[in-house]
Amino acid sequence: MSTAHVEQARNGLTGSIQVPGDKSISHRAVMFGAIAEGKTTVDGFLAGEDCLSTIDCFRKLGVTIEQEGEKVTIEGKGWDGLQEPEEILDVGNSGTTTRLMLGILATRPFHSVIIGDDSIAKRPMGRVTEPLREMGSIIDGRGNGRFTPLSIRGGQTKGIQFQSKVASAQVKSAILLAGLQSEGVTSVTEPALSRDHTERMLTAYGVEVKRDGLTVSVKGGQTLTAQDITVPGDISSAAFFLVAAVIVPNSHITLKGVGINPTRSGIIDVLQEMGASISVHNEQVVGGEPIADLDIKTSTLKGIEIGGDLIPRLIDEIPVIAVLATQAEGKTVIRDAEELKVKETNRIDTVVSELKKLGATIEATEDGMIIEGRTALKAATVSSYGDHRIGMAMGVAGLIAEGRMTIERSEAIAVSYPTFFEHIDELLGGK
């Protein structure tokens, strides 16, 4: 385990960076390439630990995958090219790998065992294993198949019309992937729209996907054709620097080539509503995903209310939004965000406890948190608790907190942003 230190910034953040590739899209590019027919290439791949876990699992399923930094080549041999793994499939810390891979394995006529780290072992898998069992695959595991380790034997499955209780792209994607090789039509209806990268990328791989409001459906018996995928910058990684630039005095930065898919861009809406000076330039569509350069400066902020359908559009950004809210005048209320409790950590608890150590006025609620600003934060020793986004949110807080911040278990940051501290140094140096 490692420890990182962050000093209060003496000058503003300036210059421009390209944030690493989108985690959600990188996972999907590899998985869909693995089940497609032909050679898929991926450029801009996020070589973070989570996505490397996906590569490792699909290699164990018999797929030849070459990866060098941001470039990946996948030799897809179609659905039937996947083979029974001789080893256990270890997903590490990655919920996306676990749930989407379950959807793929649900229709494969062989047996696999999935394990992950201590955090994965606490995360609810019943939301995926129950509908997959209903479709006909045989799944067992701890807590009657609700937690890892899980074992799955796929086979002949039937389409279902699934009503999800949560707005979760991982659940939606798992069921749709199983639906592609099941009898009849499979549909998923969610309570609010979650990120739609699966729908967009499956379409790029030649699959017919139908959307009708909050319901998305696929017909069984569909195959995928290899693609050349370019992964946009991850807006969830960009969020740390968007917030840092707004709250560190005298900052002005540009983040290049960031994915601004409307199902992910809630952070931009929140920054604008709080009064931040942010502008969007060079909008383009790359491989079915909108991207842009984001320009942002130090700004005066006011507290706002964040809830409802906005939550799935910024769920991963809430830890750093809480840091932002400590620097806004007045009250910020985050509600309808119970899903935070089942992320890499219980993010309501970890955000509130660590920000309190810095002197923030913040209280947990049943479904979110209330933050009262503006507060001058003081550096302290905090922990990531093994959660990458908590570690990075603390890194951003460290830039404005008086003194020297110590972040324990900082190694977790490599899950999604291995060059996070280098990028902080680069922007502080104004290169």
Say whether residue 56 binds ligand S3P (CB under 6 A).
no
Let me know: does 60 contact 85? Beta carbons within 8 Å. yes
Ordered DSSP codes for 160-184:
-EEE-SS--HHHHHHHHHHHTTSBS
Residue 375 DSSP SS3 = coil
- Supply the residues annotated as catalytic: 316
13 to 52: interface string for ligand S3P, x by CB under 6 A: -----------x----------------------------
85 to 124: interface string for ligand S3P, x by CB under 6 A: -----------x----------------------------
| Nearest residue (CB) to ligand S3P, 14 versus 24 | 24
Element (H, E) at 426: helix 420-429
From the list 2-10, 169-177, 211-219, 301-309, the region that binds ligand S3P by CB under 6 A is 169-177
Say whether residue 194 binds ligand S3P (CB under 6 A).
yes
Element (H, E) at 428: helix 420-429
Consult the annotation and say whether 335 binds a ligand: no
Minimum CB separation of residue 165 from ligand S3P in Å reads: 12
| Nearest residue (CB) to ligand S3P, 195 versus 200 | 195
Minimum CB separation of residue 264 from ligand S3P in Å reads: 10
| Nearest residue (CB) to ligand S3P, 168 versus 298 | 168
> Of residues 98, 137, 170, 187, which one binds ligand S3P by CB under 6 A?
170
Consult the annotation and say whether 95 binds a ligand: yes
Q: Which residue is nearest to ligand S3P (CB)?
A: 24
CA distances 239 to 138, 258, 315, 323, 348, Å, are: 40, 10, 12, 11, 18
Minimum CB separation of residue 363 from ligand S3P in Å reads: 23
Element (H, E) at 416: none
Tell me whether strands 89-90 and 111-115 are parallel, antiparallel or unpaired. parallel
Say whether residue 315 binds ligand S3P (CB under 6 A).
yes
| Nearest residue (CB) to ligand S3P, 276 versus 337 | 337
Residues, the chain: 431
Minimum CB separation of residue 291 from ligand S3P in Å reads: 17
For residue 120 the two structure tokens come to 């994965």
> Which strand ranges, in their side-by-side order, compose the sheet holding 381-383?
3-7, 404-408, 381-383
Let me know: does 354 contact 321? Beta carbons within 8 Å. no
Ordered DSSP codes for 24-60:
HHHHHHHHHHHHSEEEEEEES---SHHHHHHHHHHHH
Tokens 């090789």 found at: 181
Say whether residue 168 binds ligand S3P (CB under 6 A).
yes
Minimum CB separation of residue 261 from ligand S3P in Å reads: 12
Distance (Å, rounded) from C-alpha 59 to C-alpha 83?
A: 10
Consult the annotation and say whether 404 binds a ligand: no
Q: How far is CA 417 from the centre of its chain?
A: 11
Consult the annotation and say whether 146 binds a ligand: no
Closest among 429, 417, 336, 360 to 384, alpha carbons compared: 417
Say whether residue 169 binds ligand S3P (CB under 6 A).
yes
Minimum CB separation of residue 105 from ligand S3P in Å reads: 17
For residue 235 the two structure tokens come to 């807006």
Cite the beta strand spans of 341-397 per DSSP E: 361-365, 368-373, 381-383
Say whether residue 129 binds ligand S3P (CB under 6 A).
no
How many CB atoms are located within 10 Å of the residue 8 CB?
16
3-state DSSP percent of the chain in helix, strand and coil, to 5:
35, 30, 30
Minimum CB separation of residue 369 from ligand S3P in Å reads: 17
Consult the annotation and say whether 28 binds a ligand: yes
Consult the annotation and say whether 316 binds a ligand: yes
Consult the annotation and say whether 170 binds a ligand: yes
Consult the annotation and say whether 2 binds a ligand: no
> Of residues 190, 289, 293, 316, which one binds ligand S3P by CB under 6 A?
316
Consult the annotation and say whether 222 binds a ligand: no
Closest among 257, 256, 255, 254 to 287, alpha carbons compared: 257
| Nearest residue (CB) to ligand S3P, 347 versus 357 | 347
200 to 219: interface string for ligand S3P, x by CB under 6 A: --------------------
Distance (Å, rounded) from C-alpha 351 to C-alpha 368?
A: 10
Question: 77 — phi, psi (to 5°)?
Answer: -120, 25
Task: Please give the size of the binding site for ligand S3P, defined by CB under 6 A.
Answer: 11
From the list 107-115, 131-139, 168-176, 246-254, the region that binds ligand S3P by CB under 6 A is 168-176
Q: Binding site: what residues are annotated?
A: 23-24, 28, 95, 123, 168, 170, 316, 343, 347, 389
Binding site for ligand S3P (CB under 6 A): 24, 96, 168-170, 173, 194-195, 315-316, 339
Q: Binding site for 3-phosphoshikimate: what residues are annotated?
A: 23-24, 28, 168, 170, 316, 343
